Structure 1
């Protein structure tokens, strides 16, 4: 493991004054917890790929406000079991989802690199925020359950502001809450398109946390494979946000494109 550089002053960090982070699969090992919950429900890991595909399809409907979160959870469970030929009524799907959710919550845990990174960021004088696509009460419960309730200066949750990543408005909301300009803020997340590229298009410094070390030709943003690598990137290698007569305010143009 690469050791973090010595804690810098905010002057040494240049224009960077705050770091925003995605929560699930960035700080919280949500995938491991979700696998545990499904395994407790069906007794095997073999169905995990089907659960992942079903979750992606149904969660996308929640994020775009097509469906309520609780309804999404039940319908996802119905669709998952239907893929194996079992048709569940709403009551039985809700019962099984409650069992799965309880098992998953017992397995909630941060990645090993989360606390060291957060401690370094805070000691460096940086402000911290979470930007997450999630229902409000559920996400706040999750953040508190792993001991992070008092760590962040701001929690920006999609359900509370009505838009989700990668909409520039959610990133600008974070910057406004922190009292900073987009070019003074970094955002780190595990989703290349939703987090890193979304933040970059909004005028922030988007960083992709590529824990799986997958190759993606669209990854034209700073990339790390562990939060252990973030301090050194912030101190030594982070490029400046583009400026100039045509892109001095890139976040304003991105916002105009989506009507914000």
Structure 2
């Protein structure tokens, strides 16, 4: 059961907690395809084949396994590999990735996200904690956060307890005095609980909790329910 009296800070996941990620990625991929259409049409044709696209991603992940925590590197190098295999100019990978990355930050927040950020940030220091590559400044949410930590910057991602401890340390709190909030039962839940934090599972889709060895301190269908418990 959640113990609000122990909470001195909150670490907060981004993708699928504050906004839905897959519609965002789909729009970013469309922007990338449109940009490549006149510059690298053979690459567009190659990536239009789902099996080929999956293989390029798998080959990139294998080549850059040591950078698996940096999704930006994986995305950029997958674009580069596609360009190479299609016979287009691999130097286009850098500007192409910037087109994708810019569109990746054009997110549609869940309706409860901004009111929750306003309420929670007025009471607790918030730290963005993500395995993704979203930048809270580019998204326009930096004013609500005292800090941000990504797997890309830290070198390992959730569920490794070290990244949770480092996120809490950004605002000077111990893990046991920190609440982690996120949507992923394994990355956020098992990770946060294993790091010694309280954990609130944002379960918008009504999934079953699949980890018998631990349980969230609270499960909510939206962030407003969390605000109602804390503020």
TM-score by length of 1: 0.64
* Residue correspondences, number: 210
Match of 1:231 among 203, 227, 231: 227
Check conservation: 2:149, 2:167, Cα contact below 8 A.
Answer: yes
Check conservation: 2:179, 2:197, Cα contact below 8 A.
Answer: yes
Deviation at 1:152, TM superposition (A): 1.1
Deviation at 1:188, TM superposition (A): 0.8
Match of 2:78 among 76, 89, 97: 76
Which one has a larger percent helix, Structure 1 or Structure 2?
2
Deviation at 1:144, TM superposition (A): 1.4
Deviation at 1:119, TM superposition (A): 1.6
What is residue 26 of structure 1 aligned with on the other side? Answer: 17
Q: Structure 2: which 5+ runs fail to align?
A: 35-47
Secondary structure at the counterpart of residue 150 of structure 1 = helix
Q: Structure 1: which 5+ runs fail to align?
A: 1-11, 236-260
Secondary structure at the counterpart of residue 143 of structure 2 = coil
1:38 paired to 2:29: yes
CA deviation profile, 1:51-88 (whole Å, cap 9, x unmatched): 99789966798785258655411343467899xxx846
Q: How far apart in 2 are the matches of 1:25 and 1:202?
A: 21
CA deviation profile, 1:180-235 (whole Å, cap 9, x unmatched): 22221110112111111100011001222222222343273232221122123447
Q: CA RMSD in A?
A: 3.7
Q: How far apart in 2 are the matches of 1:100 and 1:74?
A: 9
CA 1:93 to 1:147, structure 2 compared with 1: closer, same or farther past 3 Å? closer
TM-score by length of 2: 0.71
Check conservation: 1:20, 1:130, Cα contact below 8 A.
Answer: yes
Q: How far apart in 2 are the matches of 1:234 and 1:95?
A: 44
What is residue 248 of structure 1 aligned with on the other side? Answer: none
Question: How do 1:1-260 and structure 2 match up within 5 A?
Answer: 13-42=4-33, 65-66=67-68, 70-77=72-79, 87=86, 89=88, 90-91=90-91, 96-105=96-105, 107-123=106-122, 125-134=123-132, 139=134, 142-218=135-211, 220-221=215-216, 222-234=218-230
Secondary structure at the counterpart of residue 129 of structure 1 = strand
Secondary structure at the counterpart of residue 197 of structure 1 = helix
Q: How far apart in 2 are the matches of 1:120 and 1:156?
A: 21
Q: How far apart in 1 are the matches of 2:26 and 2:83?
A: 16
Deviation at 1:178, TM superposition (A): 2.1
Check conservation: 1:187, 1:199, Cα contact below 8 A.
Answer: yes
Check conservation: 1:78, 1:88, Cα contact below 8 A.
Answer: no
CA 1:55 to 1:134, structure 2 compared with 1: closer, same or farther past 3 Å? farther
